[in-house]
Amino acid sequence: MHLTINGHDHALEVEPRVTLLDALRDRLALTGTKKGCDQGQCGACTVHVDGERVLACLTLAAQVEGREITTIEGLADGDGTLNAVQAAFLEQDAFQCGYCTPGQIMSAVACIREGHAGSDEEIREYMAGNLCRCGAYPHIVAAVRQAAKELRS
C-alpha cells in the first residue's frame, strides 16, 4: 500500500488488520502520534486524514490509502516554524507530562479549522474527545483561544 503522510509518499507492506497508529509508529517511526488507550477513548492518537481529525487507533491503514494524512510531525513548516497552535501551547504552558499534547494539538487545529473556537465553552465541547490526565485543561483552552485569535487576524 501507499500512504501519503505529511506530504511524503510511503510504500508499506502491512497486514489488512494493521491500524494507522501502528503503521505510523512501528513501520514509519513517526512516534509523535501517541498510543494511549488503543480503544478510541482518549484522543492521544488524533491525526488528520484529508483535513478531518480521526483516531488513528480505530482507523485501519488500508482505509486511508490514497488520502492525505497529517501527523503532529507535519504541522510545523519545513524551516521549523511552529504552527500557530503549537506556538500557543508553548506560550500558554498547555501541557504537563506532554503525552496527550500531540493529540490535543491535532484536535485543536481541527477545532479552529471547523469554526468551533468561538468561546471557551465551545472549545471545551469540541476538544472533549481528548483527555489530559494531568489536568492542564484551562491552559489548553487558553492556547486554543489564543491560536484561534491569531489565525483570525
**At what angle are helices 137-152 and 101-113 packed, to 10 degrees?**
40
Beta bridge partners of 5: 8, 69
- pLDDT tens, position by position, for the chain (153 residues)? 999 999 999 999 999 999 999 999 999 999 999 999 999 999 999 999 999 999 999 999 999 999 999 999 999 999 999 999 999 999 999 999 999 999 999 999 999 999 999 999 999 999 999 999 999 999 999 999 999 999 998
Question: Is residue 99 within 8 Å of residue 36, measured between CB atoms?
Answer: yes
Task: Write phi, then psi, for 139 (nearest 5 degrees).
Answer: -75, -35
CA 33-38-39 angle, 5° bins: 130
**Residue 34 in grid coordinates:** 501517541
Strands (E), 36-100: 46-49, 52-55, 68-70
Rounded CA gap, 83 and 151, in Å? 10
- Tell me the residue length of the chain: 153
pLDDT at 153: 87
Q: Residue 6's closest CA among 58, 107, 75, 56?
A: 75
